[in-house]
């Protein structure tokens, strides 16, 4: 009993301190949402809006900066890119962990070394190549490269290797081929790892600003980060509009975070600790 009381004596103040610090971390989000509901005269003066003023949000969604197409573009690119990356990475991860052929390990070293190449090295040649092939300034310039994720191959390979070899071997001895083993056995077993990778990959693509900046030019193709940038460049005194637009960009991520928190945290901590 004493121990419990003593425990609470520490636990409660620690909780309060950490909660206050946590609030401090999310102040920018709170301020953003609050400002998005204010009128221009209130900005920078009040912490809370005097009344809920939806006009900024309406302006962002239906004005000359219609966020709807940006949303659809981002959704299209992130969904196709993620589905492709998950499928192709899982296939390759199976190849690297459950099949064996000459040159497999050498190939894996090539994958490893490609991870070290910074995206800055690849921007220029990709820009030139995409111009040649004619996919510069199309969504394919973002979708196609996004479908090939080296990180995904690594992460899923690591998970596939933790599946006991006996399981796949006995299925093989029962007459199942590699494709049957992959689709019927390994994929279902790997659901948590696939969910983790899918959520992380989706969020990276949703937030991707650098590739969109380099490979997209026409405003009608813009994704959310680019649309947001344009909105802000051209409205740099419209602070309420800026914050309404930022809220529109961030809120889906916050929802994804709360839905997939378990997977995100698991994925991040396991991938790093096992290194």
Partner 1 sequence: MKRRSWMERQGWIGMTFILPNMIGILLFFVIPAIYSFVLMFTNYQFSNPNWQFTGLDNLKQLFHDDNFYASIKYTMIFLISVPVSMVLAFIVALFLNRSVYLKGLIRGMFFLPYISSGVAVAFVWMLLFQPSQGPINEMLRWIGIASPPGWFADTDTAMYAIDIVQIWLMLGYNMIIYLAALQEISTEQLEAARIDGASTFKITWKIVWPLVSPTTFLLMITGLIMTMKSFSIIQAITAGGPSGSTTVLSLFVYKTAFGYYEMGYASAISWFLFAVILVITVIQWVGQKRWVHY
- Helix, strand, coil percent values for the chain (each to nearest 5): 75, 0, 25
Among 137, 151, 172, 189, which residue interacts with partner 1 (rule: CB under 8 A)? 172
**Residue 232 interacts with partner 1 (CB under 8 A): yes or no:** yes
CB under 8 A: which stretch of 16-24, 52-60, 64-72, 190-198 binds partner 1? 16-24
Among 65, 67, 86, 126, which residue interacts with partner 1 (rule: CB under 8 A)? 126
**Residue 183 interacts with partner 1 (CB under 8 A): yes or no:** no
Distance CA 122, CA 148 (A): 14
For partner 1, the closer of residues 52 and 272 by Cβ is 272
- The count of chain residues that interact with partner 1, using the rule CB under 8 A, is 98
Short-list 202, 249, 257, 203, CA closest to 226: 249
> Nearest distance from residue 137's CB to partner 1, in Å?
13
Spell out the residues 6+ positions from residue 22 whose beta carbon is closer than 8 angstroms to its own.
Answer: none
Binding mask 40-79 for partner 1 (x = CB under 8 A): ----x--x--------------------------------
Distance CA 182, CA 187 (A): 6
> Nearest distance from residue 45's CB to partner 1, in Å?
8
Angle in degrees, CA 150, 72, 138, rounded to 5: 60
Q: Reduced to 3 states, what is the DSSP secondary structure of residue 143?
A: helix
Q: How far is CA 53 from CA 38, 59, 228, 237, 238, in A?
A: 6, 11, 21, 18, 15
> Nearest distance from residue 52's CB to partner 1, in Å?
19
Among 102, 109, 132, 188, which residue interacts with partner 1 (rule: CB under 8 A)? 102
């Amino acid at each position: 009993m004493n121990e419990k009381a003593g425990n609470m004596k520490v636990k409660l103040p620690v909780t309060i301190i950490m909660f206050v610090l946590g609030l401090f971390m999310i102040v920018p989000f709170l301020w953003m949402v609050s400002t998005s509901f204010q009128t221009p005269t209130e900005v920078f003066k009040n912490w809370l809006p005097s009344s809920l003023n939806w006009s900024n949000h309406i302006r962002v969604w239906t004005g000359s900066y219609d966020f709807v197409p940006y949303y659809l573009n981002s959704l299209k690119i992130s969904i196709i890119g993620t589905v492709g990356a998950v499928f192709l990475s899982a296939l390759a991860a199976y190849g690297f962990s459950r099949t064996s052929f000459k040159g497999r390990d050498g190939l894996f070293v090539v994958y490893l070394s490609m991870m070290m190449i910074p995206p800055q090295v690849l921007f220029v040649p990709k820009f030139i190549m995409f111009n040649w092939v004619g996919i510069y300034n199309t969504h394919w310039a973002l979708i196609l490269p996004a479908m090939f994720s080296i990180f995904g191959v690594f992460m899923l390979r690591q998970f596939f290797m933790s599946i006991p070899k006996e399981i796949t071997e006995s299925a093989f001895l029962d007459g199942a081929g590699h494709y049957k083993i992959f689709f019927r056995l390994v994929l279902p077993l790997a659901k948590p790892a696939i969910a983790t990778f899918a959520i992380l990959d989706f969020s990276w693509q949703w937030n991707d600003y650098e590739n969109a900046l380099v490979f997209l030019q026409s405003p009608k193709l813009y994704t959310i980060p680019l649309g947001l940038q344009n909105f802000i460049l051209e409205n740099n005194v419209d602070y309420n509009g800026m914050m309404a637009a930022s809220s529109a960009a961030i809120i889906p991520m916050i929802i994804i975070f709360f839905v997939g928190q378990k997977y995100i945290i698991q994925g991040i901590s396991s991938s790093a600790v096992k290194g």
